Amino acid sequence: MTPLQASRHADATPPATQARQPFYKAMYVQVLIGILAGVIVGHLWPTFAADLKPLGDAFIKLIKMIIGPVVFCTVVTGIAGMRDLKKVGRVGGKALLYFEVISSLSLLIGLVGGHLLNAGGGFNIDVNTLDASAVTGYAEKAQHLHMVEFLMGIIPTTFVQAFAEGNVLCILLVSVLFGCALSSMGDKGKPVFDLIEGLSGVFFRIVHIIAKLSALGAFGAIAFTVGTYGVGSLLPLMKLVASFYLLCALFVIVVLGAVARVCGFSILRLMAYIKEELLVVLGTSSSEVVLPQMMEKLQRLGCSKPVVGLVIPTGYSFNLDGTNIYLTMAVLFIAQALNIDLSLSQQLTLIVVAMMTSKGASGVSGAAFVMLTSTLMVVPLVPVAGMVLILGIHRFMGTGLAITNLIGNAVATLVVSAWEKELDREILAQQLTRQS
């Protein structure tokens, strides 16, 4: 057993003398209670529940505050520890190839599923009756989303700007450059390496402290959602919401499940392993809030630190499976509701455009809705005003796409680790067996 494997085994195996904690102290139980309490409060006292929004917002801000340092420390120590810069390019290339293949599949599933389920059929809405003023802000953001600007935006003006703005791709670029430079210094860079590795432990400890507020954050976020929109607001568009969640579930179980099986693990056991993170995303409708925890958990699952450090942050911008399903399905829903027929060539154009806009809007507030706006602006037969039809339920669909994105990035990290032969199968089996 190598020192790296021995270290992982030490992390993965709990002390034999450690007492099993009561079930109510488990984070996933507390988060689940917070979500249920939020639904009840939102339904019974909607006005009061709407005022609880700061609880969810504060939790999300706390997590976003720590994402930059965690990504920086993980990527730098991972690359510097490899001492092989060719490997960095190889891992990044494999990750991007995997992302594009799976993203294409998710876009096709959203398109085919949208046709088969026909969620927008029968609405027969006249586009002239729609008030587009509610989506004007999203349209203005979408007008500035171009591929060249997106690529230039990855390069921060200053080193500090990447962390000040919290753009994950900017932080990733800075981290890769720093890690490569540190690796090339050899033994001279060891003091800096040791310092950053020590800081990494501190930042992950902060993540653990913030994570204790997960239940409170989920409670505030879900109470606000139910109190503001109400369960009744779902009823007219329940078919679209149900169809979207059905497609996401099929994508996870069938597509990602098949990928997981080929890679040698069970998708259901992986979901059980990350159940706490899934519940936090369920409550907050954001996968970013669990990025630091996911990086730590995947390392404990047997993935190498360099692969985790490169794949997870990149995946948060380039591997958005749930968002892709949402984009193609939402465009089709609007077209069906307005009785607009899209030709095959227009639908293929839609897939290509959605593939690009899903990258261009990363880091933008309300990213999925902005992506949808920019996609509609390129498919002129579907008016942007049609977005008003799904504005009220976007938050509910956002939860499903965030959960799907999270699972997709967990699978991607395991796949690339296995591809690089840096997945400890023994630890993987040991950790996932505990979930059965």
> Regarding predicted confidence, which is higher, 186 or 107?
107
Report the distance separating Cα 414 and Cα 404, nearest Å. 16
Question: Which CATH number is associated with domain 12-433?
Answer: 1.10.3860.10
pLDDT (0 to 100) of residue 16: 40
Q: What angle in degrees, to the nearest 10, is found between the helix axes of 168-184 and 85-117?
A: 160
pTM for the structure as a whole: 0.74
The predicted model gives 155-181 an average pLDDT of: 84
pLDDT of residue 314 exceeding 50, the answer is: yes
Residue whose token pair is 């950790």: 431
Out of 115-124, 133-142, 169-178, 373-382, which region has the weakest mean confidence (pLDDT)? 133-142
Mean per-residue pLDDT for 278-288?
82
For 6-58, how does the pLDDT look when each residue is reduced to its tens digit (9 = 90+)? 444 444 444 443 456 676 667 777 888 888 888 888 888 888 988 888 888 88
Mean pLDDT rounded to a whole number for the chain:
79
* Residues 259-274, mean pLDDT to the nearest whole number: 94
Residue 259 has pLDDT above 70, yes or no: yes
- Alpha-carbon distance values, 83 to 64, 155, 420 (Å): 30, 25, 15
* Alpha carbons 184 and 190: distance in angstroms, whole number: 11
Q: Give the residue extent of every domain in the chain.
A: 12-433
Residue 240 pLDDT greater than 50, yes or no: yes
Please determine, for residue 78, whether its predicted confidence score (pLDDT) is greater than 90: no
Asked whether the predicted pLDDT for residue 411 surpasses 70, the reply is yes
